Amino acid sequence: MAPLSLRAALSAVALLPYLAAAAPLSLENALQLAAQRSETTRAARAGLSSAKEASHAAAQLPDPTLRVGIDNLPATGPDRFHTAREPMTMKRIGISQEWLSADKRAARQAAADASVGRETVQAQAALAETRLRTALAYVEAFYAGEVLKLATLMERHAHEELEASRARLSSAAGSSQDVLALASAKGVSEDDAAEIRQQQNTARVALQRWTGVQPDELAPPPAIVALPSEEAYVAAHPAVAAMQRDVDVAAQAAAVTASNRKPNWTWELAYGQRTGYSDMVSVGVSIPLPVAPGDRQDRDTAAKLALAGKAEAELAEAMRAATAEYKSLIGDAQRLQQRIDRYRTGVVVPAGQRAAAATAAYRSNQGDLAALFQARHAEVEAQRKLLVLQRDLAKTQVQLAFRPINAEVAP
């Protein structure tokens, strides 16, 4: 219960600026909320904590073994099971210690450190994935709201057109067919707005899944100007970083296995007590004999080296995939930016000029109402398509900026 309460308190603290000022939720606040309540990130942090704890014990010697026993206890005859009648009977207590060389302990410590590095990357990758999904959901929800504003504007235009057509019909200047056509257009625009409201609600629910809140309004996402280079993107890609740590772990595991070719010696010291005779002290050492290292230890080492080779091949494949992903995303971003610039210049600006000219003509009694409505429709549709292009560009830039691991953001 305590961790849950702590996370709830942290989420509340992060929400204070948003709640106190009743301001739109910003992307940065959404990212903070998502990072604090992400269970995936919490699980990854637990794995990292486990690896760190294990690394502290990696280079330690095994625990010593206490040995207690009785030697030469009579099993038959009148002195059976008596410990003080037979001079050869001896009560013994001793201790033994398996000894690992400094090289073996260093290899085990290196393997544990490699595991810590892998868990660190996994925690960073979990946080990066959470931030990426949150940013994508935020962009989707924000632009759904902007498109809804245009759909609502279209709905109002359709209503105005229908009312104007009815007024012309009552004055015998219009036709009933025009009224029916505009009534149908009004119904279509209302259904279009309802569909977009449904899409906006879906997008906001997806955002709430990450942030835990559903604000009334979202601030515009900040423009992403600095995009990573191909080298930086590939190096910090979660799959590549994780595979790189897998290579390190596999290499260190192979080193630990190779060190086992030299057996561990075990030292033993024992004290024996006899009744009526001198006590005894025993010192010994146990040395395992690798009678077939080529069939045992070397095979184990070869198996670990094969796993290291497998990890290296997977790393190379992950780097190729990340490179292709970057080139695809950066190409999409460039083409979308070109389309936005071209569409704004070639369609949106002329549509706005046309609507302004139609409005001026209508106000000066030099243009009809139908031309004004058509110009307004064209302008809204142009702005709507521009929003779609801007949304696609923003989502592409978010993937480029948020998919790589950010070492500056602590998991």
Write down the pLDDT at residue 188.
64
Q: Which of 95-109, 171-185, 305-319 is predicted least confidently?
A: 171-185
> Could you tell me which residue, 395 or 190, shows the higher pLDDT?
395
Question: What would you report as the CA-atom Rg of the chain, rounded to the nearest whole angstrom?
Answer: 38
Q: ∠ CA(39), CA(43), CA(47), 5° rounding?
A: 170
pLDDT at 112 > cutoff 60:
yes
pLDDT digits (tens, 9 = 90+) for 283-314: 999 999 888 888 888 999 999 999 999 999 99
Instruction: Indicate the domain borders of the chain.
Output: 2-402
Write down the pLDDT at residue 25.
92
Interaxial angle between packed helices 102-170 and 176-211, expressed in degrees from 0 to 180 and rounded to the nearest 10: 160
One-letter amino acid at 197 equals R
Q: Give the DSSP H/E element, type plus range, for residue 36.
A: helix 27-37
Furthest-apart CA atoms within the chain: distance in Å: 137
Write down the pLDDT at residue 10.
47
Token pair in block for residue 26:
């910003």
Burial-class residue 373 by CB neighbours within 10 Å (0-12, 13-18, 19+). Answer: buried
Burial-class residue 171 by CB neighbours within 10 Å (0-12, 13-18, 19+). Answer: exposed
Note the pTM of the prediction, 2 decimals.
0.81
Share of the chain above pLDDT 70, in %: 84
pLDDT at 339 > cutoff 80:
yes
pLDDT digits (tens, 9 = 90+) for 22-64: 578 999 999 999 999 989 889 999 999 999 999 988 888 889 9
Rounded to an integer, the average pLDDT of 348-374 is 80
What is the average pLDDT score of the chain? 85
CATH architecture of 2-402: Up-down Bundle (1.20)
